[in-house]
Amino acid sequence: MVAILGGGAFVLAKSADVYQDAVAMVKEDPRAIELLGEPIETGWQFRGNITTGDQGGEAEFTVPVSGPKGSGELEVEAEKVDGEWKYERIRIYPDDGGLPLDLVGDSQVLEEPSDPAVSF
């Protein structure tokens, strides 16, 4: 098994299929393009780890992302089962403090909890 930890191992992490696939999904997602603009680029700082074997593995990492309209942190959590990565989380946290954008599942943007005391 190969384990990749943050810091100087970014070059190795960048070549991992889980990293490349997650970044490709972000670059092709219309919601991410709306948030960040095109082209979407990743920064050099990598925090987290990627552990992979023949059929299994885990990935949990954060990397900066930016485009002409904004920047943020891309957070990815995935598990490799039977040789295929299953993404549990691909989320962009905007640097401007806006609501996170969740790219896994059907949710467009994570909603702030509503105040039950407020009624219309």
In a domain, 57, yes or no: yes
Q: What is the mean pLDDT of the chain?
A: 82
In a domain, 117, yes or no: no
Quote the number of domains for the chain: 1
At 108 the pLDDT is 42
What digits encode the pLDDT tens for the residues 56-97? 899 999 999 999 999 999 999 999 998 889 999 999 999 999
User: Is residue 114 scored above 70 in pLDDT?
Assistant: no
User: Is residue 3 scored above 60 in pLDDT?
Assistant: no
In a domain, 65, yes or no: yes
Residue-number span of the structural domain to which 95 is assigned:
2-102
Nearest to 68 by CA among 102, 20, 32: 32
In a domain, 87, yes or no: yes
Residue 14: pLDDT band (50, 70, 90) is confident
Instruction: Record the tokens describing residue 18, joined without a space.
Output: 């889980």
At 41 the pLDDT is 96
At 115 the pLDDT is 41
In a domain, 96, yes or no: yes
In a domain, 107, yes or no: no
Whole-prediction pTM: 0.77
At 16 the pLDDT is 87
In a domain, 56, yes or no: yes
